[in-house]
Amino acid sequence: MRTTSEPTSIVTLQQHIIEQQREHPTATGEFSWLLSGITLATEIIQAQVRRAGLLSAAVLGETGTRNVQGEMVQKLDVIANKTICSCLGYRNVGIMVSEEDDEPTIVKEGTRTRKYIVLFDPLDGSSNIDVNVSIGTIFSILQRRDDVKDDDVMAHILQPGCQQLAAGYVVYGSSTVLAYTTGEGVHMFTLDPSIGAYVLSRENVRMPHTGKEYSVNEAYRDTFPDAIQRYLQWVKTAEAGKYSMRYIGSFVADFHRTLLRGGVFLYPPTKSAPGGKLRLMYEANPMAFLAEQAGGAATDGKQRILDKAPKALHERTPLVIGSKAEVDRVLSFWQG
């Protein structure tokens, strides 16, 4: 017979956020309201992603236009972008910045009542949509600065990642999983489709200190910096032990695996993308915040990702992220 001292409890994301806010007596509830807007948007997006195969003409494929990054825009990218904007527009968000849009969206200019800034990649890995591979949404939350004028929008947005109030992602995989941090650990929730709510599945996630999986697009190896090429030779040696290579090509999914199992993800500079491919503000910063909160690390090879001062909205960065010891190992080649 199984005995238990406590009843097994089900904790929803809403409850979890409210509990966390209770520990901050000055909290007004505004932040919880904002986070619930993001989770609502991801529930709507996941429903569209799940129906993609059924509604293929409406939601699958390319729109025929290119985004600010020059990439083909997928129909689901547009749907996801609009969904997040409409869910946040009703909340207390002042500025929305999407990887898909050239310019930020100012919800209500010149007011400090809408103090939050939300940056997001609405559908990361979208080139994988048509082949049923996991994709995801990434978000980062900042607050307007007190020390700059209301209308100096770029100064409010271009803050280093260490200023993030919260960050998270949702992976639309074999199940829909949301991970978030507000600087007090990383917490993970799984969407229960039968009740339509995110339910706590892992609290205070810790990334293993080491991990024998490296994740990189090795097809570009000859165009990586020499040091990274040497690291990629080293991982295959007897001295390194038995490493495996895992690369989905969907950053959210590759990061999710690295967070849970340990290892390292790399997107170094390449010949065609000398500044790296991934976006600092929509991809690297939020994942770096999560990685550090889980005990991992993130660097661009020269400095900590979270210390980088962004100069442009759609700035790209090289990225090495994952288990602390594995990131340090890459750096020992890169900086050594």
Q: Give residues in contact with ligand AHM (CB under 6 A).
A: 71, 121, 124-127, 217, 249-251, 277
Contacting residue, 121, 292, 300, 326, with Mg ion by CB under 5 A:
121
Judged by beta carbon distances under 5 to 8 A according to partner kind, the member of ligand AHM, Mg ion, none in contact with residue 36 is none
Closest residue to Mg ion in the complex (CB): 124
Task: Return the amino acid letter for 103.
Answer: E
Q: Least CB distance from residue 267 to ligand AHM, whole Å?
A: 6
Window of 44-52, 70-78, 87-95, 113-121 that interacts with Mg ion by CB under 5 A: 113-121
* 249 vs 274, beta carbon nearer Mg ion: 249
Q: Least CB distance from residue 103 to ligand AHM, whole Å?
A: 18
Read off φ and ψ for residue 8, nearest 5 degrees. Answer: -70, 125
* 66 vs 236, beta carbon nearer Mg ion: 66
Judged by beta carbon distances under 5 to 8 A according to partner kind, the member of ligand AHM, Mg ion, none in contact with residue 208 is none
* 169 vs 231, beta carbon nearer ligand AHM: 169
**Ramachandran region of residue 198, left (φ > 0), alpha (ψ -120 to 50) or beta?**
beta
Contact residues for 287 (Cβ-Cβ < 8 A; gap 6+): 138, 167, 169, 251, 255, 298, 321
* 74 vs 159, beta carbon nearer Mg ion: 74
Contact between 254 and Mg ion (CB under 5 A)? no
Judged by beta carbon distances under 5 to 8 A according to partner kind, the member of Mg ion, ligand AHM, none in contact with residue 250 is ligand AHM
Distance CA 172, CA 264 (A): 21
Q: Least CB distance from residue 14 to ligand AHM, whole Å?
A: 28
* 12 vs 127, beta carbon nearer ligand AHM: 127
b/e code 285-306 from CB counts within 10 Å (16+ = b) = bbbbbbbbbbbbbbbbbeeebb
Q: Least CB distance from residue 210 to Mg ion, whole Å?
A: 27
Distance CA 186, CA 207 (A): 10
Judged by beta carbon distances under 5 to 8 A according to partner kind, the member of ligand AHM, Mg ion, none in contact with residue 180 is none
Q: Least CB distance from residue 135 to Mg ion, whole Å?
A: 9
* 133 vs 227, beta carbon nearer ligand AHM: 133
Contact residues for 107 (Cβ-Cβ < 8 A; gap 6+): 88, 89, 93, 94, 95, 96, 114
* Cβ(308)–Cβ(160) below 8 Å: yes
Q: Least CB distance from residue 164 to ligand AHM, whole Å?
A: 19
Contacting residue, 124, 292, 300, 326, with Mg ion by CB under 5 A:
124
Start-end of H helices in the chain: 13-22, 30-51, 56-59, 75-89, 153-157, 226-234, 251-261, 285-293, 324-334
**Ramachandran region of residue 126, left (φ > 0), alpha (ψ -120 to 50) or beta?**
alpha
Judged by beta carbon distances under 5 to 8 A according to partner kind, the member of Mg ion, ligand AHM, none in contact with residue 126 is ligand AHM
* 12 vs 128, beta carbon nearer ligand AHM: 128
Q: Least CB distance from residue 122 to Mg ion, whole Å?
A: 9
Report CA-CA distances (Å) from 140 to 99, 121, 154, 279: 12, 9, 16, 12
* Cβ(229)–Cβ(179) below 8 Å: no
Q: Least CB distance from residue 292 to Mg ion, whole Å?
A: 20
Helix, strand, coil distribution of the chain in percent, nearest 5: 35, 25, 40
Judged by beta carbon distances under 5 to 8 A according to partner kind, the member of Mg ion, ligand AHM, none in contact with residue 156 is none
Distance CA 102, CA 73 (A): 13
Residues that bind Mg ion (CB under 5 A): 121, 124
